[in-house]
Structure 1
Amino acid sequence: MAVLKVIEVLSNSDKSWEDATKKAVKHASKSLKNIRSVYVQDQSASVKDGEVTEFRVNVKITFEVD
């Protein structure tokens, strides 16, 4: 039987929500092993002078505990 744990991570990118999600997983994988999935819980963006300047995601990362 596998034991899984879920953590919540916030990430941002000046390119896209997809890039922000990839950054969250890449950064989390530096300290977590056996990442199984990522769930994008929430998306938002910062706007300045009528232009989107930053994409933000709130993700849940699921990993297996040894």
Structure 2
Amino acid sequence: MAVLKVIEILSNSDKSWEDAAAKAVAHASKSVKNIKSVYMHEQSATVKDGKIDQYRVNVKITFEVN
């Protein structure tokens, strides 16, 4: 039987929400092993001069606990 844990991470990108999620997983994987999935819980953006400046995501990362 596997035991899974979920952590919540906030990340941002100047390119896209997908890039922000990828950055969250990449950063988490430096200290968290056995990542199984990522769930994009919430998306938002900041606007500057009438254009999107920063894409922000709130993701839940699921990993297996040894």
TM-score range, shorter chain: over 0.9
Unpaired stretches in structure 1, ≥5 consecutive residues: none
Alignment of 1:38-53 (within 5 A): 38-53=38-53
Q: State percent identity of aligned pairs.
A: 76
Residue identity matched to 2:9: V
Structure 1 outlier segments of 4+, above 4 Å: none
Residue identity matched to 1:38: V
RMSD between superposed Cα atoms in Å: 0.3
Alignment of 1:50-65 (within 5 A): 50-65=50-65
Unpaired stretches in structure 2, ≥5 consecutive residues: none
TM-score where L is the length of structure 2: 0.99
Please report how far the alpha carbon of residue 55 of structure 1 lies from its aligned counterpart in structure 2 after TM superposition: 0.1
CA–CA distance in 1 between the matches of 2:15 and 2:6?
26
Alignment of 1:1-66 (within 5 A): 1-66=1-66
Provide, for residues 10-63 of structure 1, a one-character-per-residue CA deviation record: whole Å limited to 9, x for no partner.
000000000000000000000000000000000000001101000000000000
